[in-house]
Structures are given as C-alpha cells and as structure tokens.
C-alpha cells in the first residue's frame, strides 16, 4: 500500500462532523394577511384552532422573535419581496431573481399589496409587479357583500340585508364580519388554495417559486357559519386593560384607531365578537394552508421544497384600546414565521430575525447567489442551529417613527423626537414606558446609542431627540 493510499484509508475511518445542507429545488411561500403571531396554537394560543399551521410548525423551525419592517400591507410586502428596509424602486425582487435563475415563478392571490376588499371584489392586481412572475392569478370574492349574517360591530349593526353594508373605502369596514351557510369554496382563500394545488400538480417536475397569498384574517372577516361555531362570543376573553394606559405614551404612539374614537368602546360584547370573527377567519385560513400542504405531501415534493409561512404584520384587537395595524407596538411589529427546510431538523428559535431576511435565506437554500444590495441576512445558520444569531436587533419602520427590538428591550423614536422604552422581559405587554424613568437612564442611553448605530448601518436617518 502506498503512503497516499494509506492516508486516504485513514481519512475514511476518521469520524467526520457533517453539517446538513438543505436540498432545495422548490419554494412554497405562504403569506397570511393581518395575522398576529399570538393567536396561533404553535405560538401559545389555547383557544384558536390552527391544526395545519401547528402541524407544519412541528416539522419546521419556529421563530419566536420575527419582526416585520413595514407596519401596513404595502410597505411590508414591498420590503420583504425586495429585502429592503424602506423603498425599493429599481431593485430586483425575489421572484425576478428566481426567474432569472431558471425557476417557474407564480403568484396566487395577494403577495404585493391589494386593497382588501376593493381589489378582491374587482379581481384586480392591486400594486402587483408583473415582472416578478411567470404567471399570476387573482382570487375574487364578494367579501362583505356575501349573503348571510352581516355585522358592523363598532356601529352595533346586525342584518341580513345586502343594502348599506360597509365595503371598499368606507370608514367602518374594519369592523365587519359575515357568517353564512356554505362550504367556503366561494371565498378568495379557498380559491387561492385550489389554484395553488393546480399549479403544484402542473409544475411538480420543474423548479418553482410558488407564492400563495391568503387574505384572511384581514377584514371583512367572512367565512361559513361552522367556522364561527367553535368561538361563541360569550366565551371570548378581552385583552388585559390597565388604568391610564396611554398616559405615558408619546402623542405619535397613540393610534387613531382606538376604542373611544371608532365607537366600539360602547359595545364590550362586540369587542368579544371581533375576537370570535378573527378566530373564525384564522381557522378558515388555516384550513386552506392544510389543503396546500396535503397536496405537496401527496405529490412527494416535501423533501425538496422549502416552505415559508408568515404574515405581512401583526394586528391589534383592543390591546391598549388599539385596533388594526400601522403602529410600532409589539402586537403589530411581531409576526409569525415558520420555515421548513429539507434535510434540516425542526426546532424553535428565540433569535431576532426580520422579514427582509427571507430573500437571502431562500436564495442561499436554493443554491443561488443573492444580489449584493439586499438588507437582509440569510437565516440558514439559525435553521441549522436554533441558538445561532445573525443580528442583535430588528427594525420596524413607520411614517411616525422607527422601532428597534432587542432581546430584552424595545426602543422607539418618533419623528418628533419623542421616545418609548419597554422592558420586554418584565413588561411584554408594553404597559410602562421607561423612557422617562430615571432608574432606566443607563439603559436608555445604551439603547439610543445602539439605535443610532443600527439606523446608520441601514442607511436610515434617525430623528433628532427633542
């Protein structure tokens, strides 16, 4: 035996540490709309029934600290599709990148911004970027005009009449629900799931990026009666309330959509009905996720497909008396993020991540060289080891200001120079603003410094302190 042969044999006998690499040929990207992380079973909710997302989570990496960069549909979706913190004119997007590398790229439903209900009723594209896709498909529906039991909960209106319902561009559409007799096949999310299943079958032998955009639980919360039945409003628990909760918040921190202004403060029972309708929408959406994933398994594609489930942003359902989105508090900035990657073990991570990280993550998993100007960072190190960290903070950006979430604190600076500082370990509900607490002065100084450094690195101008 020659010396080189001996060395080769010795190498074969030595123990080798192998780090599994994902074998990704396809990407299935499922995006819910206005979904707060905390209502999913896999994120700890004991009431809402989400068996299909929970089943996916059991086979995936669940991110407990995932944050969106935009606080409404349009900016968030533009941000994560381009991996840019704010603004993306002229930049390559996720679908274009995969198309350029030989993938079939398709959208079904809402990926970029669509007006819900406006574009859903009309079946129109909204702010879609057609060059993203090889093909694109819209999923139309009647939304609030669906015949059935209609409610406008902040106005305390309950009727079966089709006339006078709050709909596109109308001021009270955010509080609308419809319960009706049917199987749900007329609803946009059911149609999106059916078309996605059709495309999976048609393109199962190609490399694909398939994005399924589900519009529930975004208002109006419309689904068949059987989805409301598990959530009788009388049993719904309202969020914890604290006397004088808003007194230590800066003016710009207080959203315009709050109970005393929109009228729902007069109807505590209707606040519970809002929770019932939201839960019903989440469960209906979850069923559509299950239909898509079951077909992926039936086709034998799971072992070569990366699956991402997330939402564009979270939502308020009466926390701090706030409703909807478009503010910089945790219920809105935090999103669900579940990623299943072939060849990698499931787990749970408390590492801080951002939605801008999805573009570079999926590129790396598919073996593609990501464009050099992306703001996000690949999450493959965390997908391989849940305690790994790729960043120390997450940014969320709104017209009113910018928020920075770290492991223990949330620091927000508004455009008028006012501040919020929350101790997220001891005050996760954000009830006590520590920005004016002398006992937190050292922490405040540290967070200010880290915030300004982080924004400078991201190319974002920090507002001057007042």
**Cβ partners under 8 Å of residue 142, min gap 6:** 121, 186, 222
Angle between helices 73-82 and 358-365 (to 10 degrees): 30
Q: What pLDDT was estimated at residue 280?
A: 98
Q: Are 217 and 188 in contact (CB under 8 A)?
A: no
Span 179-195, pLDDT tens digits: 999 999 999 999 999 99
CATH code 2.60.290.11 for 26-139+185-377: no
pLDDT on residue 151? 98
Which H/E stretch holds residue 404? strand 401-405
Dihedrals phi, psi of 290, to nearest 5 degrees: -60, -40
Using a 10 angstrom Cβ sphere, with 0-12 exposed, 13-18 middle and 19 or more buried, the burial of residue 461 is exposed
User: How many CB atoms are located within 10 Å of the residue 425 CB?
Assistant: 9
Query: What DSSP assignment string belongs to 39-83?
Result: GSGGGT-SSS--HHHHHHHHTSEEEEEEE-SBSSHHHHHHHHHHT
Q: How far apart are CA 25 and CA 304, in angstroms?
A: 5
Mean of pLDDT values over 436-451 = 98
- Rounded to two decimals, the pTM is 0.94
Q: What is the pLDDT of residue 18?
A: 35
Token look-up 């190498």 returns 11
Distance separating alpha carbons of residues 143 and 127, to the nearest angstrom? 19
* pLDDT of the residue at 87: 86
CATH number of 400-458: 3.30.1120.10
- Looking at residue 23, its pLDDT comes to 81
* Confidence tier at 4 by pLDDT (50, 70, 90): very low
106 sits in which H/E element: strand 104-109
Which of 13-17, 61-65, 308-312, 420-424 is the least confident region? 13-17
Model confidence band, residue 21 (pLDDT cutoffs 50, 70, 90)? low
Confidence at residue 90, expressed as pLDDT on a 0 to 100 scale: 85
- pLDDT tens digit sequence for 78-101: 999 999 998 888 899 999 999 999
Question: What is the residue extent of each domain of the chain?
Answer: 26-139+185-377, 400-458
**Residue 333 · residue 393 · CB < 8 Å:** no
Quickly tell me which residue has 């808003």 as its tokens: 246
Average per-residue pLDDT for the chain: 95
Kindly indicate the confidence band of residue 167, based on its pLDDT and cuts at 50, 70 and 90.
Answer: very high
Output the pLDDT for position 466.
82
Which among 242, 394, 296, 423 has a CA at the least distance from the CA of 402?
A: 394
- Write down the pLDDT at residue 5: 45
What confidence tens digit (pLDDT) does each residue in 317-357 have? 999 999 999 999 999 999 999 999 999 999 999 999 999 99
Percent with pLDDT over 90 in the chain: 94
Residue 289: predicted pLDDT: 98
Does the pLDDT of residue 16 top 60, yes or no?
A: no
Residue 157 has pLDDT above 60, yes or no: yes
Task: List helix spans (H) across 235-379.
Answer: 259-262, 268-298, 330-333, 358-365
Question: Tens digit of pLDDT for each residue in 241-291?
Answer: 999 999 999 999 999 999 999 999 999 999 999 999 999 999 999 999 999
Could you give the CA distance from residue 113 to residue 153 in angstroms, rounded to a whole number? 26
CA distance 460 to 295: 43
Check pLDDT > 50 for residue 364. yes
Going by C-alpha positions, the residue among 47, 89, 364 that lies closest to residue 237 is 47
What's the angle, vertex CA 257, arms to CA 212 and CA 236, rounded to 5?
A: 70
- Give residue 40's pLDDT band: very low, low, confident or very high (50, 70, 90): very high
Query: What pLDDT digit, counting tens, does each position of 202-251 carry?
Result: 999 999 999 999 999 999 999 999 999 999 999 999 999 999 999 999 99
* Amino acid 192: pLDDT: 98
Q: What percent of the chain has pLDDT over 70?
A: 95
Cα 176 to Cα 157: distance, rounded to the nearest angstrom = 9
Give the distance between the most distant pair of CA atoms in the chain. Answer: 91
- Burial of 18: CB neighbours in 10 Å, binned 0-12, 13-18, 19+: exposed
């Amino acid at each position: 035996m020659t010396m080189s042969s001996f060395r080769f044999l010795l190498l074969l006998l030595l123990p080798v540490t192998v780090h599994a690499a994902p074998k990704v040929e396809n990407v299935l990207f499922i995006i819910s709309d206005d979904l707060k992380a905390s209502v999913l079973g896999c994120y700890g909710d004991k009431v809402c029934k989400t068996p299909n997302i929970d089943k996916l989570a059991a086979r995936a990496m669940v991110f407990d600290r995932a944050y969106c960069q935009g606080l409404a549909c349009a900016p968030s979706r533009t941000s994560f599709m381009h991996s840019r913190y704010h603004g993306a004119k002229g930049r390559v997007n996720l679908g274009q990148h995969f198309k350029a590398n030989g993938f079939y790229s398709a959208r079904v439903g809402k990926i970029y911004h669509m007006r819900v209900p406006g574009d859903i009723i009309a079946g129109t594209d909204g702010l879609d970027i057609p060059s993203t896709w090889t093909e694109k498909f819209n999923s139309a529906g009647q939304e609030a005009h669906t015949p059935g039991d209609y409610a406008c909960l902040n106005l305390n209106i309950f009727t079966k009449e089709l006339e006078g319902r709050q709909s596109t561009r109308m001021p009270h559409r955010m509080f609308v629900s419809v319960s009706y007799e049917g199987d749900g096949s007329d609803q946009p999310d059911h149609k999106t799931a059916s078309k996605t299943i059709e495309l999976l079958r048609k393109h199962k032998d190609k490399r694909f990026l398939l994005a399924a955009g589900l519009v529930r639980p975004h208002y109006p919360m419309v689904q068949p009666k059987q989805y409301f039945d598990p959530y009788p409003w009388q049993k719904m628990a309202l969020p914890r309330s604290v006397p004088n909760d808003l007194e230590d918040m800066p003016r710009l921190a207080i959203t315009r959509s709050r109970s005393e202004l929109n009228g729902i403060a007069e109807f505590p029972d209707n606040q519970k009905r809002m929770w019932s309708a939201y839960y019903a929408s989440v469960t209906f959406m979850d069923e559509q996720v299950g239909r898509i994933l079951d077909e992926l398994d039936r086709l034998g594609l799971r072992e070569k497909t990366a699956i991402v489930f997330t939402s564009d942003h979270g939502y308020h359902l009466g926390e701090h008396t706030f409703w909807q989105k478009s503010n910089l508090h945790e219920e809105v900035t935090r999103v669900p993020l579940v990623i299943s990657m072939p060849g990698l073990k499931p787990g749970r991570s408390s590492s801080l991540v951002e939605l801008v990280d999805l573009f570079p993550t999926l590129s790396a998993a598919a073996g593609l060289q990501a464009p050099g100007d992306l703001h996000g960072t690949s999450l493959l190190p965390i997908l391989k080891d849940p305690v790994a960290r790729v960043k120390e903070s997450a940014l969320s950006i709104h017209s009113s200001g910018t928020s920075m979430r770290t492991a223990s604190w949330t620091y927000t600076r508004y455009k008028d120079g006012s501040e919020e500082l929350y101790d997220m370990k001891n005050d996760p509900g954000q009830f006590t603003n520590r920005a004016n607490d002398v006992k937190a002065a050292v922490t405040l100084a540290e967070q200010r410094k880290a915030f300004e450094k982080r924004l400078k690195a991201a190319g974002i101008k920090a507002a001057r302190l007042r």
